[in-house]
């Protein structure tokens, strides 16, 4: 068994225009996903929107500089993630396809294992 | 010995991968076995079943290695799921067949980039060296080696499994495999660069793979369609260049020299491929090839039927290249102005920006209706976009003819 992280990327503007209806629908879908994949789910969280993000990088003089916003401005922003356990990538993909991501999609990344 | 190598590599590797669960280690064991074979068969001769000999030796080495290591490497992703209900009747097909199918589905996994899928398929299933694969795709050996290494690392790190997909995954997965095999074929059929029009070695590999898939998946309509398409297109091989190496268009080819056995076999496969409703893209492409193959001459080709088939194909496979081929058929069915109108709709397609066949087709139609200076400009554009020596010569000749006197006939771009 191996762990994978399923990263959820979605267009935040679509969420804004979707309003309460979209939000409620997504909640329902995430609960359903959680119930149906209980055995494989090892963790996960929804993240608050990128407007709440703070980034820290080293500037040209080597000092850490704190700025407003996500690390990279992309059309689809990171909105949440699940940690799942699966025997191989095909099994991980089968689970990841069930993750609700109406306004975008997901990335499946294997977790690094250290000896 | 070289023959045994080509034919058997995929079999032996696939069987060995099942034990080692690591492609690199499996390759070493197989190479070892081949080296032993060279020494042993020098005196005893090649056995009647070289693959059985090679497989036994390679697997024995793999088991040896496994015993000597404390554990198999932990990051091995390759799992053979013995419990899964096979999509095929494995009792009928036999273990060896399953292993080759597992290997081809692994090489063509959608988690690998298309470039990587093609490279791995050629390297692992067809037994081409890295240098040979590099030559096929016009990159340096270093670049190709890096590409293959990255792909193997992805397989290991993401744990891409060594298995035949479940029935519900099959349609998409088979499509990926067939796409790779077709790309191999078209790369060989009309080589993107180099001195010859055809790279026979790639065509042969593609045909071998298509036949292998047909044997392993006899009920699949798209697999039948692909094999039919390859047979019907390759049937023309002998006639595509003149004895002096000049490119011959479909219009100019001596149809008596087309491979009639291949055509008969291809047409039967097209019928079979169409039993699935609606027909898939491989079945439709094969059907188009069949219309050409069965037309007694260029003049008697049913272009309207071809346009109709392209109409279906474009809905199933909305690719700009398909739209281009359709536009050419439209021009041949309904006249050059109609063809030019259809081509004009594609002028802004980004995917066709570097595709020499678009300006070449435009040039041919412009020439037909006497718009010679525009035809010249389009031929020039096409010439800039192709690196194949035979095609360049053809285009240069067309330009020469324009300068000499107006041409009287133009041919479809297909050869």
CATH at B13: 1.10.1740
Residue at token pair 């479940």 = B166
pLDDT (mean) for A15-41: 95
Q: Nearest C-alpha of chain B: how many angstroms from A2?
A: 9
Q: Which residues, other chains included, contact B170 with Cβ-Cβ below 8 Å and sequence gap of 6+?
A: B87
Strand partners, A107: A7
What pLDDT was estimated at residue B97? 65
Q: Which of A106-110, B233-237, B320-324 has the highest mean pLDDT?
A: A106-110
Q: What is the pLDDT of residue B87?
A: 39
Q: What is the mean pLDDT of residues B133-154?
A: 92
- Which tens digit of pLDDT belongs to each residue from B241-273? 888 878 888 888 989 999 999 999 999 999 999
Whether residue B87 is contained in a domain is answered as no
**Residue-range definition of the domain harbouring residue B231:** 165-290
Question: In a 3-state reduction of DSSP, which class is residue B21?
Answer: coil
pLDDT band at B99; cut points 50, 70, 90: confident
pLDDT digits (tens, 9 = 90+) for B70-97: 444 443 444 443 333 333 444 434 566 6
Give B83→chain A minimum CA distance, Å: 14
Question: Which of B257, B290, B323 represents a domain boundary (last residue)?
Answer: B290
Given an 8 Å threshold on Cβ–Cβ distance, is B161 in contact with A110?
no
Domain ranges of chain A: 2-110
| Rounded-to-integer distance, Cα B310 and Cα B293, Å | 16
Degrees, nearest 5: CA angle A88-A94-A100: 130
Interface mutation vs chain A, best among B159, B160, B164, B173, most A CBs within 10 Å: B159
Mean of pLDDT values over B362-381: 93
Last residue of a domain, one of B260, B290, B320: B290
ipTM of the complex: 0.89
How many domains, in total, are found in chain B? Answer: 2
Split at pLDDT 50, 70, 90, the class of B331 is: very high
Contact at 8 Å (CB) between A79 and A9?
yes
Helix (H, G, I), strand (E, B) or coil at B149: helix
Residue B152 counted as domain residue: no
DSSP chain A: -EEEEEEEEEEHHHHHHHHHHHHHHHHHHHHHHHHHTTTTEEEEEE---GGG-EEEEE-TTS-EEEEES-SS--SEEEEEEEEEEESSHHHHHHHHTTS--TTEEEEEEEPP---
Q: How confident is the model at residue B278 (pLDDT cuts 50, 70, 90)?
A: confident
Do B174 and B279 sit in the same domain of this protein? yes
Distance CA B98, CA B186 (A): 27
Task: Report if residue B348 sits inside a domain.
Answer: no
Q: How many Å lie between the alpha carbon of B66 and the closest alpha carbon of chain A? A: 20
Question: Stretch B337-360: mean pLDDT, rounded?
Answer: 92
pLDDT surpasses 50 at B62? yes
Q: What is the bridge-based pairing of β-strands A54-58 and A64-68?
A: antiparallel
Residue B7 is predicted with a pLDDT of 67
Tokens representing B88 are 């095929």
Looking at residue B401, what is its pLDDT? 87
The yes-or-no verdict on residue B405 having pLDDT over 70 is no
Contact B176/A at CB under 8 A: no
User: Any idea which of A77-86, B55-64, B243-252, B369-378 has the lowest mean pLDDT?
Assistant: B243-252
Query: pLDDT tens for residues B203-235?
Result: 988 998 999 899 889 999 999 999 999 999 999
Stretch B164-183: mean pLDDT? 91
Residue B118 lies in a domain: no
Nearest to B77 among A88, A93, A115 (CB): A88
Q: Which of A78-82, B1-5, B25-29 has the highest mean pLDDT?
A: A78-82
Task: Reply yes or no: is the peptide bond before residue B278 cis, omega within 30 of 0.
Answer: yes
Cβ–Cβ gap A89/B77 under 8 Å: yes
Per-residue pLDDT of B117-129, as tens digits, reads 999 999 998 888 8
**Residue B378 belongs to a domain:** no
Predicted confidence at residue B53, as pLDDT, reads 84
Task: Please check whether residue B305 lies inside any domain of the structure.
Answer: no
Q: pLDDT value at position B126?
A: 84
CATH architecture of the domain formed by A2-110 = 2-Layer Sandwich (3.30)
Nearest to B158 among A87, A89, A113 (CB): A89
Assess if residue B204 is contained within a domain: yes
State the pLDDT confidence band at B325, using cuts at 50, 70 and 90: very high
Q: Does residue B106 form part of some domain?
A: no
Please check whether residue B105 touches A, CB under 8 A.
no
């Amino acid at each position: 068994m191996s762990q994978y992280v399923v990263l959820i990327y979605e267009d935040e503007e679509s969420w804004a225009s979707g309003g309460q209806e979209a939000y409620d629908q997504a909640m329902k879908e995430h609960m359903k996903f959680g119930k149906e994949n209980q055995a494989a789910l090892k963790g996960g969280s929804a993240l608050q929107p990128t407007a709440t993000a703070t980034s820290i990088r080293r500037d040209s003089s080597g000092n850490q500089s704190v700025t407003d916003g996500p690390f990279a401005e992309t059309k689809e922003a990171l909105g949440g993630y699940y940690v799942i356990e699966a025997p191989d990538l095909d099994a991980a993909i089968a689970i990841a396809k069930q993750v609700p991501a109406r306004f975008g999609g997901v990335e499946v990344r294997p977790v690094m294992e250290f000896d | 010995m070289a023959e045994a190598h080509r034919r058997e590599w995929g079999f032996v590797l696939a069987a060995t991968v099942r034990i080692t669960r690591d492609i690199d280690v499996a390759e070493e064991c197989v190479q070892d076995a081949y080296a032993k074979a060279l020494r042993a068969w020098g005196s005893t001769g090649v056995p009647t079943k070289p693959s059985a000999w090679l497989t036994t030796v390679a697997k024995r080495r793999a088991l040896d290695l496994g015993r000597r290591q404390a554990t198999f490497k932990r990051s091995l992703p390759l799992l053979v799921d013995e419990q899964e209900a096979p999509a095929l009747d494995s009792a009928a097909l036999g273990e060896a067949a399953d292993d080759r199918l597992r290997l081809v589905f692994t090489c063509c996994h959608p988690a690998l980039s298309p470039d990587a899928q093609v490279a791995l398929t050629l390297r692992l299933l067809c037994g081409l060296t890295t240098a040979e694969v590099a030559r096929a795709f016009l990159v340096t050996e270093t670049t190709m080696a890096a590409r293959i290494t990255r792909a193997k690392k992805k397989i290991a790190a993401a744990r891409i499994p060594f298995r035949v997909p479940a029935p519900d995954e099959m349609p998409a997965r088979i499509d990926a495999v067939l796409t790779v095999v077709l790309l191999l074929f078209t790369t060989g059929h009309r080589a993107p660069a180099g001195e010859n029009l055809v790279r026979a070695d790639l065509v042969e590999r593609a045909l071998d793979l298509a036949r292998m898939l047909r044997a392993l998946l006899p009920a699949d309509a798209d697999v039948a369609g692909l094999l039919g398409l390859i047979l019907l297109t390759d049937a023309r091989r002998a006639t595509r260049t003149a004895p002096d190496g000049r490119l011959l268009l479909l219009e100019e080819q001596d149809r008596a020299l087309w491979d009639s056995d291949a055509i008969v076999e291809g047409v039967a496969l097209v019928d079979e491929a169409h039993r699935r409703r609606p027909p898939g893209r491989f079945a439709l492409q094969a059907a188009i090839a069949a219309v050409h193959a069965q037309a007694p001459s260029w003049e008697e080709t049913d272009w309207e039927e071809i346009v109709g088939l392209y109409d279906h194909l474009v809905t199933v496979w909305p690719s700009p290249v398909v739209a281009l081929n359709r536009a050419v058929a439209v021009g041949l069915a309904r006249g050059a102005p109609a063809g030019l109108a259809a081509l004009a709709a594609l002028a802004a397609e980004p995917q066709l920006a570097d595709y020499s066949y678009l300006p070449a087709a435009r040039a041919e139609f412009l020439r037909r209706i006497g718009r010679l200076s525009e035809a010249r400009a389009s031929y020039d554009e096409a010439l800039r976009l192709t690196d194949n020596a035979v095609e360049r010569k053809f285009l240069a000749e067309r330009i020469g003819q324009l300068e000499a006197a107006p041409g009287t006939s133009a041919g479809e771009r297909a050869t």
